[in-house]
Amino acid sequence: MFIEIDGWMAKLRFSACHFIPDHPKCGCLHGHTYAVSVKLEGELKGEFIIDFETIKGIVNRICDRLDHKILIAEKDPRLLIRKSDSVSIEIIKSTKKYVLPFEDIMFLPTRSASAEDLCQYFTANIKKALDSNGVDNIKKITVRVDEGIGQGAGCEYEY
Ligand SMILES: [Zn+2]
């Protein structure tokens, strides 16, 4: 069996900005409203696979970390990221330099800030939260991160 939550309908959303180095259009800092949809397959435990409120709480807490932030992939080999002063970070991509307030940035442990990498970030963090909540009846996690309505990236984790 599975349960499924639509991120748009269930308000598992966040707004953030990012850029994709070297992309002709997406190489400029720009924003999206994202929605995170989740499907969990597993065995029933009592009457539920998992309480909807539990999984929504987990996803919401991850969304909150990213909401209204500038998403920077700290493992992006194309970027030079360095401290500018005590409150600012310089993000340098060849001839372009962004100087951004440190407190407005969410550094992602990824190689890009694409929907695909965000999806893997969400999947890994959902799995971690399920594990630390002692959830042991889930067999497969499927996550889709939509970058606006109608386009998104999906990934799966199987136990
Ligand atoms: Zn974008």
Q: Which amino acid would we find at residue 90?
A: E
Distance from residue 119's CA to the centre of ligand 1 (Å):
14
DSSP assignment string, 31-95? EEEEEEEEEEEE--BTTBSS-HHHHHHHHHHHHHHHTTEEEEETT-TT-EEEE-SSSEEEEEETT
pLDDT given at position 40: 98
Query: What average pLDDT does the chain have?
Result: 96
Distance from residue 135's CA to the centre of ligand 1 (Å):
34
In a 13 Å sphere around the CA of 66, the CA atoms on its Cβ side amount to 31
Helix (H) or strand (E) segment spanning residue 26? none
Distance from residue 18's CA to the centre of ligand 1 (Å):
6
d(CA 80, CA 44): 48
Q: How many other CB atoms sit within 10 Å of the CB of residue 101?
A: 11
Tell me, yes or no, if 68 is annotated catalytic. Answer: yes
Radius of gyration of the chain (CA): 17
- Lay out the sheet containing 80-83: strands in order across: 80-83, 88-93, 96-101
Tell me, yes or no, if 63 is annotated catalytic. Answer: no
Token pair 């932030």 in the structure block, residue? 69
Look up residue 1 and give its two tokens: 């069996």
Which of 4, 28, 68, 156 is catalytic? The answer is 68
Which of 17, 26, 90, 116 is catalytic? The answer is 26
Kindly report whether the global pTM for this prediction surpasses the value 0.75. Answer: yes
Distance from residue 43's CA to the centre of ligand 1 (Å):
37
Tell me, yes or no, if 147 is annotated catalytic. Answer: yes
Domains and CATH numbers, the chain: 2-73+109-158 (3.30.479.10)
pLDDT in tens, 102-152: 999 999 999 999 999 999 999 999 999 999 999 999 999 999 999 999 999
Which of 18, 32, 63, 147 is catalytic? The answer is 147
Distance from residue 82's CA to the centre of ligand 1 (Å):
23
